[in-house]
Protein backbone atom coordinates (compact mmCIF):
# COMPACT_ATOMS: atom_id res chain seq x y z
CA UNK A 1 0.00 0.00 0.00
CA UNK A 2 1.12 3.52 -0.71
CA UNK A 3 0.21 6.61 1.29
CA UNK A 4 0.10 9.81 -0.72
CA UNK A 5 -0.62 12.15 2.17
CA UNK A 6 2.11 14.75 2.62
CA UNK A 7 4.91 14.74 5.14
CA UNK A 8 4.67 17.73 7.49
CA UNK A 9 7.84 19.63 8.35
CA UNK A 10 8.15 22.56 10.69
CA UNK A 11 10.79 24.89 11.98
CA UNK A 12 10.84 28.14 13.88
CA UNK A 13 11.41 29.86 10.54
CA UNK A 14 13.28 29.21 7.33
CA UNK A 15 16.19 27.15 8.71
CA UNK A 16 14.33 23.86 8.41
CA UNK A 17 14.39 24.34 4.66
CA UNK A 18 17.84 22.71 4.80
CA UNK A 19 15.98 19.56 5.89
CA UNK A 20 13.23 20.18 3.32
CA UNK A 21 15.92 20.42 0.61
CA UNK A 22 17.47 17.09 1.59
CA UNK A 23 14.02 15.47 1.67
CA UNK A 24 13.27 16.64 -1.87
CA UNK A 25 16.61 15.15 -2.99
CA UNK A 26 16.17 11.81 -1.28
CA UNK A 27 12.40 11.39 -1.60
CA UNK A 28 11.43 13.23 -4.78
CA UNK A 29 8.00 11.59 -5.01
CA UNK A 30 6.86 12.56 -1.51
CA UNK A 31 4.55 15.55 -1.06
CA UNK A 32 5.77 17.99 1.57
CA UNK A 33 4.06 20.71 3.61
CA UNK A 34 6.56 23.04 5.26
CA UNK A 35 5.55 25.37 8.09
CA UNK A 36 7.86 28.16 9.22
CA UNK A 37 6.78 29.79 12.48
CA UNK A 38 8.28 33.07 11.37
CA UNK A 39 6.07 35.13 13.68
CA UNK A 40 7.75 33.59 16.70
CA UNK A 41 11.29 32.90 15.53
CA UNK A 42 13.80 32.58 17.16
CA UNK A 43 13.13 29.54 19.34
CA UNK A 44 16.82 29.27 20.18
CA UNK A 45 16.69 31.85 22.97
CA UNK A 46 13.32 30.79 24.48
CA UNK A 47 12.55 28.59 27.48
CA UNK A 48 11.70 24.89 27.07
CA UNK A 49 8.05 25.44 28.10
CA UNK A 50 7.55 28.14 25.50
CA UNK A 51 9.18 26.03 22.78
CA UNK A 52 6.94 23.06 23.69
CA UNK A 53 3.88 25.30 23.37
CA UNK A 54 4.99 26.66 20.00
CA UNK A 55 5.98 23.26 18.65
CA UNK A 56 2.61 21.76 19.66
CA UNK A 57 0.82 24.58 17.85
CA UNK A 58 2.89 23.94 14.71
CA UNK A 59 2.08 20.23 14.88
CA UNK A 60 -1.62 21.05 15.21
CA UNK A 61 -1.60 23.19 12.04
CA UNK A 62 0.13 20.43 10.09
CA UNK A 63 -2.25 17.74 11.38
CA UNK A 64 -5.10 19.81 9.94
CA UNK A 65 -3.36 19.32 6.58
CA UNK A 66 -3.61 15.55 7.01
CA UNK A 67 0.11 14.87 7.21
CA UNK A 68 1.12 11.23 7.59
CA UNK A 69 4.33 11.97 9.43
CA UNK A 70 5.95 14.93 11.18
CA UNK A 71 9.54 16.11 10.86
CA UNK A 72 10.68 18.52 13.54
CA UNK A 73 13.22 20.32 11.36
CA UNK A 74 14.50 22.51 14.16
CA UNK A 75 17.18 21.53 16.63
CA UNK A 76 15.80 23.70 19.41
CA UNK A 77 12.27 22.30 19.02
CA UNK A 78 13.69 18.77 18.81
CA UNK A 79 15.73 19.37 21.96
CA UNK A 80 12.79 20.61 24.04
CA UNK A 81 9.59 19.29 22.49
CA UNK A 82 10.19 15.93 20.83
CA UNK A 83 9.04 13.84 23.79
CA UNK A 84 5.91 15.94 24.24
CA UNK A 85 5.07 15.45 20.56
CA UNK A 86 5.72 11.71 20.77
CA UNK A 87 3.29 11.55 23.68
CA UNK A 88 0.57 13.59 22.02
CA UNK A 89 0.60 12.46 18.40
CA UNK A 90 -0.16 9.10 16.87
CA UNK A 91 1.78 9.61 13.64
CA UNK A 92 5.55 9.03 13.40
CA UNK A 93 7.55 12.07 14.57
CA UNK A 94 11.20 12.44 13.59
CA UNK A 95 13.51 15.07 15.08
CA UNK A 96 16.94 16.20 13.92
CA UNK A 97 19.05 15.43 16.98
CA UNK A 98 19.15 11.63 17.06
CA UNK A 99 19.99 11.42 13.31
CA UNK A 100 22.78 13.98 13.75
CA UNK A 101 24.13 12.17 16.80
CA UNK A 102 24.14 8.84 14.96
CA UNK A 103 25.97 10.34 11.99
CA UNK A 104 28.55 11.90 14.33
CA UNK A 105 29.24 8.61 16.06
CA UNK A 106 29.64 6.86 12.71
CA UNK A 107 32.00 9.58 11.52
CA UNK A 108 34.26 10.03 14.54
CA UNK A 109 37.31 7.84 14.98
CA UNK A 110 38.58 9.38 18.22
CA UNK A 111 35.20 9.82 19.94
CA UNK A 112 36.01 13.51 20.53
CA UNK A 113 32.94 15.22 19.11
CA UNK A 114 32.05 18.92 19.01
CA UNK A 115 28.48 20.22 18.80
CA UNK A 116 27.39 23.75 17.93
CA UNK A 117 23.83 25.07 18.13
CA UNK A 118 21.55 27.69 19.65
CA UNK A 119 21.63 28.63 23.33
CA UNK A 120 18.50 26.49 23.89
CA UNK A 121 19.84 23.39 22.14
CA UNK A 122 23.23 23.52 23.82
CA UNK A 123 21.70 24.38 27.22
CA UNK A 124 19.36 21.38 27.01
CA UNK A 125 22.30 18.96 27.07
CA UNK A 126 20.41 16.68 24.69
CA UNK A 127 23.26 16.23 22.22
CA UNK A 128 25.89 14.93 24.69
CA UNK A 129 23.23 12.74 26.29
CA UNK A 130 22.17 11.24 22.95
CA UNK A 131 25.73 10.80 21.67
CA UNK A 132 26.84 9.07 24.88
CA UNK A 133 23.89 6.71 24.68
CA UNK A 134 25.22 5.64 21.30
CA UNK A 135 28.91 5.65 22.26
CA UNK A 136 29.51 5.54 25.99
CA UNK A 137 33.15 6.59 25.79
CA UNK A 138 32.48 9.63 23.59
CA UNK A 139 33.70 13.00 24.80
CA UNK A 140 31.37 15.75 23.70
CA UNK A 141 32.27 19.45 23.67
CA UNK A 142 29.49 21.97 23.07
CA UNK A 143 29.35 25.61 22.14
CA UNK A 144 26.37 27.90 21.54
CA UNK A 145 26.91 30.16 18.51
CA UNK A 146 24.00 32.63 18.63
CA UNK A 147 25.42 34.98 15.99
CA UNK A 148 25.33 32.34 13.25
CA UNK A 149 21.55 32.39 12.72
CA UNK A 150 21.28 36.14 11.99
CA UNK A 151 24.36 35.95 9.75
CA UNK A 152 22.70 33.27 7.61
CA UNK A 153 19.38 35.09 7.46
CA UNK A 154 21.26 38.21 6.36
CA UNK A 155 23.01 36.22 3.65
CA UNK A 156 26.45 36.86 5.19
CA UNK A 157 27.77 33.34 4.89
CA UNK A 158 31.19 34.10 3.42
CA UNK A 159 33.93 36.68 3.86
CA UNK A 160 35.87 38.20 6.73
CA UNK A 161 32.95 38.85 9.12
CA UNK A 162 31.59 35.27 9.36
CA UNK A 163 35.15 33.93 9.22
CA UNK A 164 36.18 35.99 12.25
CA UNK A 165 33.04 35.01 14.18
CA UNK A 166 33.49 31.32 13.34
CA UNK A 167 37.15 31.38 14.37
CA UNK A 168 36.24 32.96 17.71
CA UNK A 169 33.39 30.54 18.46
CA UNK A 170 35.27 27.42 17.41
CA UNK A 171 38.67 27.98 19.00
CA UNK A 172 37.75 26.29 22.28
CA UNK A 173 36.35 23.25 20.51
CA UNK A 174 39.51 22.99 18.42
CA UNK A 175 41.60 23.16 21.58
CA UNK A 176 39.80 19.98 22.66
CA UNK A 177 41.05 18.23 19.51
CA UNK A 178 37.68 17.19 18.21
CA UNK A 179 37.68 15.16 14.99
CA UNK A 180 33.96 15.66 14.23
CA UNK A 181 31.71 18.70 14.52
CA UNK A 182 27.90 18.46 14.50
CA UNK A 183 26.12 21.41 12.88
CA UNK A 184 23.38 21.29 15.50
CA UNK A 185 21.20 24.03 14.08
CA UNK A 186 19.22 24.08 10.86
CA UNK A 187 20.85 27.30 9.65
CA UNK A 188 24.44 26.13 9.93
CA UNK A 189 24.71 24.00 6.76
CA UNK A 190 24.66 27.31 4.87
CA UNK A 191 27.83 28.27 6.75
CA UNK A 192 29.55 24.95 6.20
CA UNK A 193 32.30 26.38 3.99
CA UNK A 194 33.18 29.06 6.49
CA UNK A 195 32.93 26.64 9.43
CA UNK A 196 34.91 24.01 7.52
CA UNK A 197 37.68 26.52 6.81
CA UNK A 198 37.76 27.55 10.47
CA UNK A 199 38.12 24.00 11.80
CA UNK A 200 40.39 22.70 9.03
CA UNK A 201 40.41 19.49 7.04
CA UNK A 202 41.05 17.31 10.10
CA UNK A 203 37.54 17.89 11.47
CA UNK A 204 34.56 16.28 9.69
CA UNK A 205 31.35 18.30 9.64
CA UNK A 206 28.07 16.49 10.28
CA UNK A 207 25.04 18.04 8.60
CA UNK A 208 22.02 16.78 10.51
CA UNK A 209 19.71 17.74 7.62
CA UNK A 210 21.13 14.96 5.45
CA UNK A 211 21.12 12.48 8.32
CA UNK A 212 17.50 13.37 9.13
CA UNK A 213 16.34 12.81 5.55
CA UNK A 214 17.80 9.30 5.72
CA UNK A 215 15.93 8.56 8.95
CA UNK A 216 12.70 9.84 7.38
CA UNK A 217 13.23 7.42 4.50
CA UNK A 218 13.87 4.54 6.90
CA UNK A 219 10.76 5.46 8.90
CA UNK A 220 8.59 5.53 5.78
CA UNK A 221 9.93 2.12 4.79
CA UNK A 222 9.43 0.65 8.25
CA UNK A 223 5.87 1.94 8.60
CA UNK A 224 4.83 1.34 5.00
CA UNK A 225 3.86 4.99 4.63
CA UNK A 226 5.84 5.83 1.48
CA UNK A 227 4.22 7.25 -1.65
CA UNK A 228 4.37 5.51 -5.03
CA UNK A 229 7.17 6.69 -7.27
CA UNK A 230 4.71 7.41 -10.10
CA UNK A 231 2.92 10.00 -7.97
CA UNK A 232 3.25 13.67 -8.84
CA UNK A 233 4.16 15.29 -5.53
CA UNK A 234 3.24 18.78 -4.33
CA UNK A 235 5.22 21.18 -2.14
CA UNK A 236 3.38 23.65 0.04
CA UNK A 237 4.81 26.43 2.20
CA UNK A 238 3.09 27.97 5.22
CA UNK A 239 4.36 30.86 7.34
CA UNK A 240 2.98 32.53 10.44
CA UNK A 241 4.45 35.94 9.51
CA UNK A 242 4.72 37.75 6.19
CA UNK A 243 4.69 35.29 3.25
CA UNK A 244 6.74 37.80 1.22
CA UNK A 245 9.55 37.88 3.77
CA UNK A 246 9.50 34.09 4.01
CA UNK A 247 9.87 33.83 0.24
CA UNK A 248 12.87 36.19 0.18
CA UNK A 249 14.84 34.30 2.83
CA UNK A 250 13.67 30.90 1.57
CA UNK A 251 15.30 31.63 -1.76
CA UNK A 252 18.66 31.91 0.03
CA UNK A 253 18.17 28.44 1.48
CA UNK A 254 16.73 26.65 -1.55
CA UNK A 255 18.31 28.56 -4.42
CA UNK A 256 14.96 28.92 -6.19
CA UNK A 257 11.80 30.96 -5.85
CA UNK A 258 9.06 29.48 -3.70
CA UNK A 259 5.66 30.39 -5.08
CA UNK A 260 2.43 30.83 -3.13
CA UNK A 261 3.51 30.94 0.48
CA UNK A 262 0.35 30.77 2.56
CA UNK A 263 -0.05 32.78 5.75
CA UNK A 264 -1.39 30.76 8.69
CA UNK A 265 -2.81 32.00 11.96
CA UNK A 266 -2.32 30.09 15.19
Site mask for ligand DGL (CB under 6 A), range 67-86, x = bound? -------xxx----------
Q: Is 142 a catalytic residue?
A: no
Q: In what order do the strands lie in the sheet with 235-239?
A: 93-94, 69-72, 7-11, 32-36, 235-239, 261-263
| Interface pick for ligand DGL out of 61, 187, 198, 243 (rule CB under 6 A) | 187
**43 forms part of the interface with ligand DGL (CB under 6 A):** yes
Q: Measure the CA–CA gap between 74 and 100, rounded to whole angstroms.
A: 12
Size of the site for ligand DGL (CB under 6 A): 18
> What is the maximum span of the chain, computed from C-alpha positions, in angstroms?
53
100: contact with ligand DGL by CB under 6 A: no
DSSP string, 18-83: HHHHHHHHH-TTS-EEEEE-TTT---TTS-HHHHHHHHHHHHHHHHHTT-SEEEE--HHHHHHHHH
Catalytic residue among 58, 74, 142, 145: 74
Task: Work out which of 108, 118, 124, 212 binds ligand DGL, going by CB under 6 A.
Answer: 118
In order of 62, 72, 131, 184, the CA distances from 10 in angstroms are 8, 6, 24, 16
Question: From start to end of the chain, where are the E strands?
Answer: 7-11, 32-36, 69-72, 93-94, 112-117, 139-144, 180-184, 204-207, 235-239, 261-263
Closest CB to ligand DGL among 124 and 226? 124
CA 213 to CA 53: how far, in whole Å? 25
**Does 15 participate in binding ligand DGL (rule CB under 6 A)?**
yes
Q: How far is the CB of 155 from ligand DGL (least distance, A)?
A: 16
- Confirm or reject binding of residue 38 to ligand DGL (CB under 6 A): no
Q: Is 149 in the site for ligand DGL (CB under 6 A)?
A: yes
191 touching ligand DGL, by CB under 6 A = no
From the list 58, 142, 145, 185, the catalytic residue is: 185
240 scored as a contact of ligand DGL (CB under 6 A): no
Which segment (42-50, 129-137, 218-226, 249-257) binds ligand DGL by CB under 6 A?
42-50
**Nearer to ligand DGL among residue 187 and residue 225 (C-beta):** 187
DSSP 8-state symbol, 224: T
**74 in catalytic set:** yes
Interface residues with ligand DGL (CB under 6 A) are 11-13, 15, 41-44, 74-76, 117-118, 121, 149, 185-187
Catalytic residue list: 74, 185
Amino acid sequence: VADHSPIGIFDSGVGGLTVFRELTRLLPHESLVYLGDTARVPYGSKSPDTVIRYASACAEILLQRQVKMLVVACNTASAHALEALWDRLDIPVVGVIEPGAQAAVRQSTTGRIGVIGTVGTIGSGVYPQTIRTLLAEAEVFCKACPLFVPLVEEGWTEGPVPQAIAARYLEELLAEQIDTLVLGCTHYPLLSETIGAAVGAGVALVDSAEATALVVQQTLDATDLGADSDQLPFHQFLASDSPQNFAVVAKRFLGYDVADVEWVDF
